[in-house]
């Protein structure tokens, strides 16, 4: 075991894993976190905490992860390269490990232009691949990025993201291989709306044998409204939501029900694909739908969490 | 045949709005507009012609407002070299302030040469860039002090990727465009296309390690000292 987290144990034991995203509140109220956490507690194996998602300032990823840990959930701490340099990131990782947080997801981060501080200066001291390298180096060499030593161990389980729906398509698997080479043990993809494109990408992943070297979790996002579907199609780069999916949502008598149905179909399809070792549900702002989706997908109950950490 | 505007400029700037410039010079009755004959001439921001146009606009605007302001004009070859700046001192006359239409480097060099004279910036210095076509300049270099263009097919990801990623493209690249705007090219798509054309996509398989930013501005204000050249003068 690299880090001994529940997520690592489940993935290494070959179980089909379910993780879900929790967006921290834009405010100071911890009760909001606790309420969302309770909705996710029994239906997923680990909870991903976003890091100033879409460049909007929120309660920090680290503090929400600590909170989840304290109430008995397994967090995955997201870290973006946008807001912090290598000093700040490594400091947060030391602190997180000290609090028993062992799963980390390394991301570039959305550009601040989209957020609530568009006039800010971004950091990008590291990119997401270098961030994976840095965390893996802290774990395996017990050294900071600079080569300097620190006291204690950093048993971290390091993941990264992949977007099979961005361009250039042929490069997407090369980028994944770089993340794997850097030491990413698990990969979360952007939400799968275009199942056919995802299948082609998975085929390329298998051709390179990457499915044998990392655990791929397919991203799932239930669409809540026709407006959301259109917005993602027209305004968010790299989402790849096909017109046919938007049309289904637009024509549905019950939009939310259709959104769940599309998500369930995607889950069914990705589960059949060799090399997909789990799903990652991103229902930010609609956390209460996650248990419904996991239940309907036939993925309940989740395996019991081992008390050993 | 080369016209005075031809040639590859380095520093690209644009003029501040007239109203902002008027506020800058408001405390003064006698102002020298100082143009620069190099980069900002080539990008049509602060050459002799722009000095003339701005001077006329200022004279007219101040006159309409009933202010009697003497605006004189001078354009020197390069504001960033002491050798040429000396001319300003000789021709300053009784001007109380200099409005420099040089880049930020020029403004500072002129200020250093004119102790006791207010030197004001008339331009916003934008970037080191190239002329893509007439009237279109694009940022191309951030001066990071450790060039990686050999690894990226001659296209700089530090200057041209919105996130300065060294192992891009990120997940926001779509149809060759950057996630921040459909008007911005994805530098890593360009790099991919170029390396693909050169048969060197293998370069994109390699992880470019953490960058040493100490050679960039992160390491503090930079200077180059060449004793071999100093001896010659």
At B149-158, the pLDDT tens digits run: 999 999 999 9
Cβ contacts of residue B3 below 8 Å, gap of 6+? none
- Residue identified by tokens 């009697």 is B68
- Planar angle of CA A295, A42, A103, nearest 5 degrees: 115
Task: Kindly list the domain boundaries of chain B, sorted by start residue.
Answer: 11-127, 145-208
Asked if residues B192 and A171 have their Cβ atoms less than 8 Å apart, the reply is yes
Asked if residues A105 and A214 have their Cβ atoms less than 8 Å apart, the reply is no
A171 touches chain B (CB under 8 A): yes
Structure tokens of B216? 């960039």
Structure tokens of B115? 């102790």
**Integer angstrom CA distances of residue A256 from A63, A205, A221, A261, B174:** 32, 32, 12, 9, 28
Query: Can you point out the beta strands (E) in chain B?
Result: 11-15, 30-36, 70-76, 97-100, 118-121, 123-133, 136-141, 177-178, 181-185
pLDDT at A307 over 50: no
pLDDT tens for B49-102 read: 999 999 999 999 999 999 999 999 999 999 999 999 999 998 999 999 999 999
The whole-number pLDDT of residue B231 equals: 67
pLDDT at A304 over 70: yes
Q: Give the integer Cα–Cα distance in Å for A70 and B129.
A: 52
Cβ of A111 within 8 Å of Cβ of B201? The answer is no
pLDDT tens for B93-131 read: 999 999 999 999 999 999 999 999 999 999 999 999 999
Best of A90, A120, A171 to substitute, by most chain B Cβ atoms within 10 angstroms, is: A171
SS3 B188: helix
Q: Give the integer Cα–Cα distance in Å for A84 and A215.
A: 27
Of A110, A124, A178, the CB nearest to B207: A178
- Planar angle of CA A220, A226, A232, nearest 5 degrees: 55
Of B164, B171, B210, the CB nearest to A145: B210
Does the structural domain A6-222+263-296 have CATH classification 3.20.20.220?
A: yes
- Provide, as residue numbers in chain B, all residues whose Cβ is less than 8 Å from the Cβ of A112: none
pTM for the full model? 0.95
Structure tokens of B93? 């006359």
ipTM over 0.90? The verdict is yes
CB hemisphere CA count around B92 (13 angstroms) = 22
CATH of B11-127, one of 3.40.50, 1.10.10, 1.10.3210, 1.20.120: 3.40.50
pLDDT tens for B11-28 read: 999 999 999 999 999 999
The whole-number pLDDT of residue A72 equals: 96
pLDDT band at A235 (very low <50, low <70, confident <90, very high): confident
Residue B202 to chain A, least CA–CA distance (Å)? 10
- Provide, as residue numbers in chain A, all residues whose Cβ is less than 8 Å from the Cβ of B186: 167
Asked if residues A34 and A71 have their Cβ atoms less than 8 Å apart, the reply is yes
pLDDT tens for A100-140 read: 999 999 999 999 998 999 999 999 999 999 999 999 999 99
Residue A186 to chain B, least CA–CA distance (Å)? 17
Asked if residues A95 and B164 have their Cβ atoms less than 8 Å apart, the reply is no
Is residue B169 reached through a cis peptide bond, with omega within 30 degrees of 0 on the bond before it? yes
Nearest CA in chain A to B218: A125
pLDDT at A309 over 80: no
Q: Which residues of A35-67 are buried (b: 16+ CB within 10 A; e: fewer)?
A: ebbebbbebbbbbbbbbbbbbeebbbbbebbbb
Torsion of CA B147, B151, B154, B157, to 10 degrees: -70
Q: Give the integer Cα–Cα distance in Å for A46 and A32.
A: 18
CB hemisphere CA count around B77 (13 angstroms) = 6
Cβ of A175 within 8 Å of Cβ of B167? The answer is yes
pLDDT at B229 over 50: yes
- Residue identified by tokens 């602060």 is B46
Cβ contacts of residue A79 below 8 Å, gap of 6+? A51, A61, A89, A92, A93, A104, A105, A106, A107, A131
pLDDT band at B1 (very low <50, low <70, confident <90, very high): very low
Residue A97 to chain B, least CA–CA distance (Å)? 23
SS3 B22: helix
């Amino acid at each position: 075991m690299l880090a001994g987290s529940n997520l690592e144990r489940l993935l290494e034991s070959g179980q089909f894993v379910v993780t879900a995203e929790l967006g921290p509140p834009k405010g100071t109220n911890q009760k909001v976190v606790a309420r969302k956490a309770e909705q996710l507690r029994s239906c997923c194996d680990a909870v991903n905490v976003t890091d100033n998602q879409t460049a909007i300032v929120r309660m920090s990823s680290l503090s929400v992860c600590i909170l989840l840990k304290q109430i008995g959930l397994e967090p995955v701490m997201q870290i973006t390269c946008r807001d912090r340099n290598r000093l700040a990131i490594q400091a947060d990782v030391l602190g997180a490990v000290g609090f028993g947080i062992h799963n980390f997801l390394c991301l570039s981060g959305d550009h601040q232009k989209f957020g609530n501080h568009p006039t800010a200066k971004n950091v990008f001291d590291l990119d997401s691949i270098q961030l994976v390298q840095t965390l893996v180096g802290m774990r395996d060499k017990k050294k900071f990025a600079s080569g300097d030593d620190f006291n204690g161990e950093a048993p971290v389980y390091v993941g990264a993201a992949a977007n099979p729906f961005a361009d250039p398509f042929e490069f997407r698997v090369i980028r994944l291989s770089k993340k794997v080479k850097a030491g990413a043990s698990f990969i979360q993809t952007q939400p799968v709306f275009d199942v056919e494109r995802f299948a082609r990408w998975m085929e390329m992943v298998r051709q390179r044998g990457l499915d044998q070297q990392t655990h791929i979790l397919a991203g799932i996002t239930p669409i809540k409204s026709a407006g959301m579907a259109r917005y993602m199609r027209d305004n968010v780069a790299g989402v790849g939501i096909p017109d046919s999916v938007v049309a289904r949502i637009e024509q549905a008598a019950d939009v939310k029900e259709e959104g769940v149905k599309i998500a369930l179909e995607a889950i069914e399809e990705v589960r059949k694909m060799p090399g997909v070792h789990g799903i990652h549900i991103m229902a930010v702002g609609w956390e209460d739908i996650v248990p419904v989706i996991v239940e309907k997908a036939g993925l309940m109950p989740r395996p019991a969490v081992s008390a050993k950490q | 045949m080369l016209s005075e505007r031809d040639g590859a400029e380095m520093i690209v700037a644009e003029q501040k709005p007239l109203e902002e410039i008027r506020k800058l010079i408001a405390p003064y009755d006698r102002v020298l507009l100082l143009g620069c004959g190099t980069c900002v001439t080539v990008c049509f921001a602060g050459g002799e012609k722009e000095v003339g146009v701005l001077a006329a606009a200022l004279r007219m605007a101040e006159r309409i407002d009933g202010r009697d302001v003497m605006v004189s004009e001078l354009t020197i070859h390069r504001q960033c070299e002491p050798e040429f700046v000396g001319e300003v001192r000789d021709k300053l006359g009784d001007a109380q302030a200099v409005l420099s239409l040089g880049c930020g480097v020029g403004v500072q060099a002129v200020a250093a040469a004119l102790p006791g004279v207010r030197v004001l910036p008339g331009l916003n210095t934008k970037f080191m860039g190239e002329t893509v076509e007439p009237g279109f300049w694009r940022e191309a270099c951030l001066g990071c002090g450790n060039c990686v263009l050999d690894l990226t097919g001659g296209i700089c990801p530090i200057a041209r990727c919105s996130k300065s990623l060294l192992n891009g493209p990120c997940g926001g690249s779509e149809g060759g465009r950057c996630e921040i705007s459909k008007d911005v090219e994805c530098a890593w798509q360009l790099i991919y296309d170029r390396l693909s054309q050169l048969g060197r996509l293998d370069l994109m398989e390699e992880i470019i390690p953490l960058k040493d930013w100490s050679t960039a501005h992160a390491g503090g204000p930079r200077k180059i000292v060449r004793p071999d050249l100093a001896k010659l003068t």
